[in-house]
Amino acid sequence: MKCEELLQYLSDYIDKELSEALTDEAQQHLATCQNCRVVLDSTQQTIFLFREQGKRTIPVQNRQRLFDQLQEAFQHSKPV
């Protein structure tokens, strides 16, 4: 397996949805490719951090103020 192939299958690899043969190929490649191990580790850490954060929402008063500021900015912007 080459780096490009691993990247193509990375999501399925992380989700454990690859066939046994492709999983074996991916693991063999990861055993010898530092760059792909870094990509895999970074991706897994990003997923973990995202899940840990949970869904964040903007408080209602801040959301309305932000919406008002955006609306005003659009109204005063020049058409392109």
- The structure's pTM equals 0.63
The DSSP code sequence of 9-76 is: HHHHHHTT-S-HHHHHHHHHHHHH-HHHHHHHHHHHHHHHHHHHH------HHHHHHHHHHHHHHHHH
Domain that holds residue 22: 3-76
d(CA 29, CA 9): 12
Tens digit of each residue's pLDDT (9 = 90 or more) over 9-53? 999 999 999 999 999 999 999 999 999 999 999 999 998 888 877
For the chain, how many structural domains are there in total?
1
Mean pLDDT for 69-80 is 74
Which one is predicted more confidently, 77 or 44? Answer: 44
